[in-house]
Amino acid sequence: MLIVQKFGGTSVANTERIKSVAARVAKYHAKGDQIVVVVSAMSGVTDGLIKLAKEIMPLPSEREMDVLLATGEQTTIALTAIALHALGLPAASLTGAQAGIVTDGVHTKAKIQNITPRKIHELLNADKVVIVAGFQGQTREGQITTLGRGGSDLTAIALAAALKANLCQIYTDVDGVYTADPRLVPTARKLTEISYDEMLELASLGAKVMQSRSVEFAKKFGVVFEVRSSLNDNPGTIVKEETKGMEDVVIRGVSLDKNQAKMTLVGVPDRPGIAASIFKSLADGAINVDMIVQNASHGSETPATDLSFTVDRADLLKAGKIIDELRSSIGIRDVVAAEKMGKLSIVGVGMRSHSGVAAKMFDTLAQAGINIEMISTSEIKISVVIELSKAEPAMRAVHAAFLG
């Protein structure tokens, strides 16, 4: 079998951890498997390098940032190869460029254009374990690039696709994907499987297990992978295309984003172009607006409406300034900000075929005395915005109602 194994920053945090990665790889190698290992930088290293550059200037050249950040993964590939040599295993490290990973030229967030894994095949055929630096590639012109934060996941998934690997394992510091964050919900369970779409929803909702782009890539190319722990031998969670049986489960997971803030514009003139100008100004200020709710219009001569939206809490002040600048020109009567909000979501492909899911969620919250301030839904997700102080008990109540 050809196996791609990816180890994240915490799994290679120090030489002890790197030795235990090598021991795990050795076990698979002893079974006769061909192994391609992808590693991240040791945990904290990428952040540390960014900090160094910013001590010199606030906005360093992105080309130089890529040259700098790529050293993090280059350190780990060499140390991992050395750890394998120490166990008597033949192993060789490759940078992204050496592994044949070609990207576009968008420094610090390059996209993989294609992979020519000739060197990898050569080494595998010579019975070597191949260790590839995650997160990096090179342009056709030979410039070093990086794939955006968390990009080692993408390297692993893309290599698994290019090599037609039989197995792709993403090793991390958790046992897999859970029905909810076990630190917040003690009854949360590890899932044996989850569909790409559910995984994507949970990741974008704050359950940060993997870089979202890598899951999108896996979906596009049908790469089945397993998220599992580098600290034990427990089976993890298989992430794959939706199968028939998956719809039998109504809800796969519950997630909570504690970083929301809400802004309500009271008495906004209700005429064409107003929403466009408000949200254009916010977008120009690089503010990511998540949920938007507009109420029914009131007043007949000069109809007005109330408009609420959510942003990341860190963006609230900036959003407030932008709205203040518009306020008199548009004629907004009042602006109310709520700083501490949470977004609670339930996700599951089973929602498509089960009715009454939203009603059950709202009823559960009502019985817990929790007021819902905003609601949004998609095909496989229902989200509500609630007061942050009630968010954790709300999460536990909803998890208990759907997942026990």
137 contributes a contact to Mg ion by CB under 5 A: no
Angle at 60 between CA 57 and CA 63, to 5 degrees: 160
96 contributes a contact to ligand ASP by CB under 6 A: no
Name residues contacting ligand ASP, limited to 320-339 (CB under 6 A): none
65 contributes a contact to ligand ASP by CB under 6 A: no
Start-end of H helices in 87-131: 118-125
135 contributes a contact to ligand ASP by CB under 6 A: yes
**Residue closest to 215 by CA, chosen among 154, 284, 282:** 154
Residues 14-53: x/- map of binding to Mg ion (CB under 5 A)? Answer: --------------------------x-------------
**Cα–chain-centroid distance for residue 50?**
20
271 contacts: CB under 8 Å, gap ≥ 6? 303
Radius of gyration for the chain, computed over Cα atoms and rounded to the nearest angstrom: 24
* Beta-sheet pairing, 381-387 with 334-347: antiparallel
**CB nearer to ligand ASP: pick between 153 and 315:** 153
Exactly one of 5, 6, 8, 117 binds Mg ion (CB under 5 A); which one? 8
117 contributes a contact to Mg ion by CB under 5 A: no
Structure tokens belonging to residue 109: 């967030």
Residues 19-58: x/- map of binding to ligand ASP (CB under 6 A)? Answer: ---------------------xx----x------------
Angle at 402 between CA 396 and CA 403, to 5 degrees: 75
**CB nearer to ligand ASP: pick between 25 and 41:** 41
Exactly one of 121, 149, 189, 354 binds ligand ASP (CB under 6 A); which one? 149
Q: Where are the beta strands (DSSP E) in 46-173?
A: 91-94, 101-103, 112-115, 129-133, 136-138, 144-146, 167-172
- Tell me the site size for ligand ASP, rule CB under 6 A: 13
Residues that bind Mg ion (CB under 5 A): 8-9, 40, 150
Residues that bind ligand ASP (CB under 6 A): 8-9, 40-41, 46, 72, 134-135, 149-153
